[in-house]
Structure 1
Amino acid sequence: MTTRLLFASPLYQQRLDDSDMLDELARSIRYLAEADGAGQQWCEEKDYYGYTSYASLDDLPQRDPVFADLAKWLTKQARAFAKELAWDHKPKLDSIWVNLMHPGAHHAAHIHPHSVLSGTLYVDVPDGAGTIRFEDPRLPMMMAAPLREGDVSEHLRTHVDIAPERGTLLLWESFLRHEVRPHHGEEDRLSVSFNFA
């Protein structure tokens, strides 16, 4: 008898070990959270508990040299992941935004349409910060699937939670549904998210 695994959903994980760059990113995120009035207004209208530049700033690499350096590093990582996926395509950075989540914040399950790869670099992750949860993309088609027994391998789970640390980079194919679980820490959680086309 042979059991084969089909239709994997790869998750690329890398580490940014440049502490100076992470500190600089943290300073920039906090500055943007204070200075970006349009972003603050969008967050207030959408009941976003914290700050994101998602709907207000689309020029971070031109605005701040640390984001230009980060964009180059992210592109290198995205292309390495695309090679692992055997793609005949070199991903190009399409959008990049920052996130500052206050204690108590969460982000509902979603996908990233109009892109091929998406991801997040974790800049500051306080104790108690919410995990990122990925959902098996086949879940909507498995309405009658029985529950799994015990502690099963990741590839058999319907959801996988990952607790990132400072400097963790996660990259995934953009169709993979994910959410940020509630942040139970006492300090803000900082990250940079992005899409590649």
Structure 2
Amino acid sequence: MWNVTPIFAKPLLNTYVDLGICDDLKKVCAQMKWNEDTWETGYKSGASKDTHVLHTMDRSVLKYFEDLFNECVRSYLGYQNFIQITTSWFTKTYPGGFAAEHVHTNSWYSAVLYFDEYNDDSSKLKLIETPSPILPLQDEYNIFNAGAYMVPPQKGLMVMFPSEVRHLVTPNNSDQTRYSIAFNMMPKGPCGSGDSAHHY
């Protein structure tokens, strides 16, 4: 008999946020100016020009999210550092639109919150494993051999993952524009040791 250990696993974490916060974000989103259809945003999609949305809202909103992320990083992932939200921006995907595969640079962890209403045809978040040069056939998919993982949007759902994980937004097959807000985070305080030590 073999024992299997998932070494160096990449965590995908999720929680649900207060729906009142979702409604507040929806109102703020309605006032945004947008960058649309660039190589960064994808096809028939956009990102808010404001990349520090939470920092321009009431301080209590920023603290609400920082408290959630700190609970995750310290209590579940086992790190000593607190986190700081460095950037936050709205995204939108029009019917028929999508966002191409990408990673988030200058960031340790990233997250996305779905604050709107969605249906089964709304764009999904697709997380993608780094491609292997060898692709054997599988009897069934599991955490060891799956090359991708789908996250359907739900109002109030927030997911968090290492910023290095490749991901995309699948085509929006619904007749409604799909909105979300994304976050980038860095550790706060001392990291590393010796000549690699740095205080963020």
Common fold by TM > 0.5: yes
Q: CA deviation at 1:43?
A: 1.5
Unmatched 5+ residue regions in structure 2? 187-200
Pick one of 153, 166, 170 that aligns with 1:177. 166
Residues 158-177 of structure 1 correspond to what in structure 2 (within 5 A)? 158-177=147-166
Q: How many residues in Structure 1 have an aligned counterpart in Structure 2?
A: 181
Question: What is aligned with 2:105?
Answer: 113
- The answer to whether the 8 Å contact 1:22/1:167 transfers is yes
- CA RMSD in angstroms comes to 1.9
Runs of 4+ in structure 1 displaced over 4 angstroms? 44-48
Pick one of 89, 92, 104 that aligns with 1:100. 92
Q: CA deviation at 1:148?
A: 1.5
Q: 1:104 to 1:70 in 2, by over 3 A?
A: farther
Pick one of 137, 143, 161 that aligns with 1:147. 137
> Amino acid of the residue matched to residue 19 of structure 1?
L
Question: What is aligned with 1:134?
Answer: 127
Residues 51-70 of structure 1 correspond to what in structure 2 (within 5 A)? 51-53=46-48, 56-65=49-58, 68-70=59-61
Unmatched 5+ residue regions in structure 1? none
- The answer to whether the 8 Å contact 1:107/1:180 transfers is yes
Scaled by the length of structure 2, what TM-score is found?
0.82
Q: CA deviation at 1:48?
A: 4.7
- The answer to whether the 8 Å contact 1:130/1:163 transfers is yes
Scaled by the length of structure 1, what TM-score is found?
0.83
Q: 1:20 to 1:82 in 2, by over 3 A?
A: closer
The CA distance in 1 between the partners of 2:108 and 2:70, in whole Å, is: 12
- The answer to whether the 8 Å contact 1:75/1:91 transfers is yes
Q: CA deviation at 1:62?
A: 4.3
Greater strand content: 2
- The answer to whether the 8 Å contact 1:126/1:186 transfers is no
Pick one of 45, 63, 70 that aligns with 1:72. 63
Greater helix content: 1
- The answer to whether the 8 Å contact 2:93/2:177 transfers is yes
Q: 1:22 to 1:181 in 2, by over 3 A?
A: same
